[in-house]
Amino acid sequence: MDCPNNAGSAFYNYKGFHSVVLLAMCDAKYCFTFLDIGGFGSTNDASIVSGALFGEMFENNPTDLNTPRPSLHGNKTLPYVVVGDDIFPLKPWLMKPYPGRNVSGNKRVFNYRLSRARRTIENAFGILAAKWRLFIRCIRANVDLVTLMVQATVSLHNYLRLTENSHYILAGFVDCEDNEGNILPSDWRREVNDDDTGLTQLDRITGNRYTFEAGRSRDDFMAYFNSPAGEVPWQLQLVRNSETVLNI
């Protein structure tokens, strides 16, 4: 998230402008459930996650998060996890896609299912930027004021979602899928230009190193998504279609 040039060198990122880091989680209704605002824009490694408040909370396995019990499927125990994209480190509590293009069909299915879930937070950020126009361009304010602006707009966003305000998110404003799993782009994408928005996505902040426990957890999810209990009807056809495109 962009911020003004007087923010100090700690906020000066490698892309050549000042920014603060906004990490967020959301639920299925596009309501933000956890925010970490104000990380230094100059930070670009795994510490940006592990040093964040929710990273510390999940790493320490707190009991006050009211996380549901892990789900048992056959002989596999699937924990409740946070879904992230490829820029984040793989952890037992944080799932990311399998890297590379030449991965197996089962791994492609996992990557598709993960992407399908992760699209929820992408839509939440898109709604926020499209509805609260201050995110359309660089925010020229000091870091404390930027933090207050984000807190206020996110609170109002959640209020309008929780009160089921039908004028806040109109039909077609978020991404959806047709009966074959193809993504239908949403209206917010036409209102928000990614190249000109004040919300700029982080680039990769870590490598592909991870613990055995994290890798095993991802493999367990992959096996579940490819089993009769966890599959969705269109996933294989969608993966085959993507493989055909890559081979052309």
What mean pLDDT do residues 145-171 have?
Answer: 86
Task: Please indicate, yes or no, if residue 212 is contained in any of the structural domains.
Answer: yes
Structure tokens, 63: 């009991």
Structure tokens, 39: 């990380």
| Dihedral pair phi/psi, residue 181, rounded to 5° | 85, 5
Task: Please indicate, yes or no, if residue 15 is contained in any of the structural domains.
Answer: yes
Cross-strand partners of 22: 37
Examine the pLDDT at 45 and tell me if it is beyond 50: no
Structure tokens, 162: 């929780």
Structural domain span for residue 190: 9-247
Examine the pLDDT at 248 and tell me if it is beyond 50: no
| pTM for the whole structure | 0.77
Pairing of strands 82-83, 94-95: parallel
Residue with tokens 């367990």: 220
Task: Please indicate, yes or no, if residue 4 is contained in any of the structural domains.
Answer: no
Task: Confirm if 66 and 53 have CB atoms less than 8 A apart.
Answer: no
Pairing of strands 71-73, 32-40: unpaired
Task: Please indicate, yes or no, if residue 204 is contained in any of the structural domains.
Answer: yes
38 CA to centre of own chain: 18
Structure tokens, 47: 């510490």
Task: Please indicate, yes or no, if residue 2 is contained in any of the structural domains.
Answer: no
Q: Indicate the range of 20-24, 125-129, 147-151, 194-198 predicted with least confidence.
A: 194-198
- C-alpha to C-alpha distance for 194 and 163, rounded to whole angstroms: 29
Q: Greater confidence, 166 or 220?
A: 220
* Residues 102-141: tens digit of each pLDDT: 888 899 999 999 998 999 999 999 899 888 988 887 788 8
Task: Please indicate, yes or no, if residue 24 is contained in any of the structural domains.
Answer: yes
Q: Whats the size of the chain, residue-wise? A: 248
Task: Please indicate, yes or no, if residue 3 is contained in any of the structural domains.
Answer: no
Maximum distance among all Cα pairs of the chain, rounded to whole angstroms: 56
Q: How many domains does the structure of the chain reveal?
A: 1
pLDDT (0 to 100) of residue 46: 52
Task: Please indicate, yes or no, if residue 123 is contained in any of the structural domains.
Answer: yes
